[in-house]
Structure 1
Amino acid sequence: MDPLSAVRDYTIRGELDRIVRFNDEFRFGSDYSFPCSSETGYRSKQGNLYTLETLLFFINNTHLKHIEYLQKARTQGIPAVTLPDRKPLLEYLQGKVSSSDAVQLFLVPTPQNDAVNSASHKFPDLPLSSSIIPSDSFPPNLNSIDAYGDPQPKPEHVDFMAMIRDVERPLKDRESLLECKQRDFYGVLVASTKREEERQRVESQQRKDGLVAKSRLMGSEETRYGDEAGYESTPKPKMMHLMKGSKIGEGVPIILVPSAFQTLITIYNVKDFLEDGVFIPTDVKVKQMKGAKPDCVTVQKKFSRDRVVTAYEVRDKPSALKPEDWDRVVAVFVLGKEWQFKDWPFKDHVEIFNKILGFFMRFEDDSLESAKVVKQWNVKIISISKNKRHQDRTAALDVWDRLEEFVRSRSHS
């Protein structure tokens, strides 16, 4: 019986009180005796073998909190069981688990009474110890000695590589590799975030500048096209030429949408609806985009026979508009709540919808109560189906037709 097995056996049987210390050895009743400093067959996660003294002190003080146990062990000069080993070691000693990777092999019997003398007589050159010893310390034809001193036959084949792998322990795990002393990744995160924000800002400004230049260029081309053709029957491309001083401010016209998710059209799905004629719920688009909410979205009329002539900016933050930007606002998708127009540079909703085209999107089978307020406003109600997506195109064309007619009327007023 090796020291570890003896401690486990006595723990399971509830006979730890029979283990007494006599000078420098522990006596297990009248069964066994081992030196106090004997190494047992239990290897800690740190790589060392726990001694018999450590195991017995631990198993007799498991009722203490770990910090109290460490303090008590320190005052008595006994090496302590580490916190990571505490639970698995206790479960093994109490018999809650039958085996453990921490338990080592090749344990030799304890020198004891007649059985030891008999073994010494039969094998005088065999080193007897209660500690773990390498397998090559055994005689060629002997693997171990049982409790009665009789030799046990050595197996025909021993997989030494498997034995080595069983006792291997990693020097570092995933957590220890991630621990970097005196290093802080917060600065890296901040720098990366700033670079991404700057990139988006530059791209947004470039898109705006490009759209303004394109609008002006196409207006000039329209004038040249008519002059060079020389006759009125020549088909001219349909386009809107925004001139400084007109009712619409110079630049790309703006469409406002609510920032609240309870409305059908938001800055997330407006491009799909107006450009492709398909309604996609906002929550679905948020998951698809997997990124920051855009400040501005550009839309164009693409699904008609007419040439694409005008681009529109879609925004959902009226508070960010400058005074000159309000001259470019041509349409708004309303939420149906008065507070949507708080801090707008207009007297009331009557003035708003005299100068800006209003749309209210709803599902066709929603109750009329949802449109009760907007029916009192000068707003066009656009109804779509909850399930028939092929009908979305018709609703989007209705928006475009009314928007283009409104813009033409303002441009020539």
Structure 2
Amino acid sequence: MDPLSALRDFTIRNDLDQIVRAGDEFRFGGDYAFPCGVSTAYRSKQGSLYSLETLVHFVKHHHLKHTEYMHHARSNNLPAVTFIDRKPLLDYLHGKVSSSDAIQFVNPKFSAASADEYRPEDTGLVPIAATDNGFDGNEESRVRVLENYISMIRSMERPLKDRETILECKNRNFYDVLAAGAKREEERQKAESQQRKDGLVAKNRLMRGDERGFGEEMGYDATPRPKMSLKGSKIGEGVPIILVPSAFQTLITIYNVKEFLEDGVFIPTDVKVKQMKGPKPDCVTVQKKFSRDRVVTAYEVRDKPSALKAEDWDRVVAVFVLGKEWQFKEWPFQDHVEIFNKILGFYMRFEDDSVESAKNVKQWNVKIISISKNKRHQDRAAALEVWDRLEEFMRSRSRG
């Protein structure tokens, strides 16, 4: 009997406790004995044959969750049965199915010696013919010799890693990969944007003169805007301004606002600071990109309200709030009620933050935007929500 059939027989009879390891072999009661590392006839969907010690360990520990079983196998320096092979293998060993496409017997004449008669050099295949050169001269004997050698080699193999263990990345942080990718994308988009601007400048100067072309060169709509005081409803003349907190404890700062609004990717401020070369910028320009061929109005992002002149406040259209009243100290408004009647407010938070963190904000006329701490593919939806609110606000102010 071959090792796989013997293991199946003992599993169905519920005699797994009679399979005992003695040195480098497994003894199946007093009936059979096989080398621990001998290859069985059950082939993994990954292509390799499972060894006997792998299957014995698996069938004795299949009650564990797969992750726990994997750790247990690795702690015993054993290759593990893959998740995809788990159920069909169990069905066969427990007798629920009588055969499987995964079973490939190399030689149906697999020998089965008793424990007392077993010889360590016996690989479990048809013995080599007892001749001086190992075979009796015919082709069948040569095949048998080759099969025995292959089985011996496989019995000594120990896979270091399988597909599942390779995919487990412990103690690794992929923020650097994300940041490098975001930086390359930013550089690419800057180059494309500049090429589009250069083309628009040349075209508009020919069609409308230098005055129109200058506005396009600066990256915003050059159509003059009416200038009104803070008491009015329309924005002042020039590039609209978005204010962000200068404190690091807020999610959106002048360091990471460009990646978030333009690329829809949240990169923590401390990561961006480490990547920076040179001093902190006083102003960052952001644009919403509908497509590769169209760039809309540009916005200035600043984090020093105290540096704004009186006429600059007419251009302030939005603010990312910290959630603290002192953020608005010395602003040219009576209170936060007046601020958020004239300026669009956003509060960025992680979706699993406590409710207390947004206690003050919920009393203000501010839009709360939530993002995940780990699911970066969700950042783009949050950024689009900011842009949608901002564009609707800008349209309402221009109409007013």
Task: Please identify the structure whose Cα radius of gyration is greater.
Answer: 1
TM-score bin, normalised by smaller chain: 0.3 to 0.5
Q: TM-score under structure 2 normalisation?
A: 0.43
Q: TM-score under structure 1 normalisation?
A: 0.42
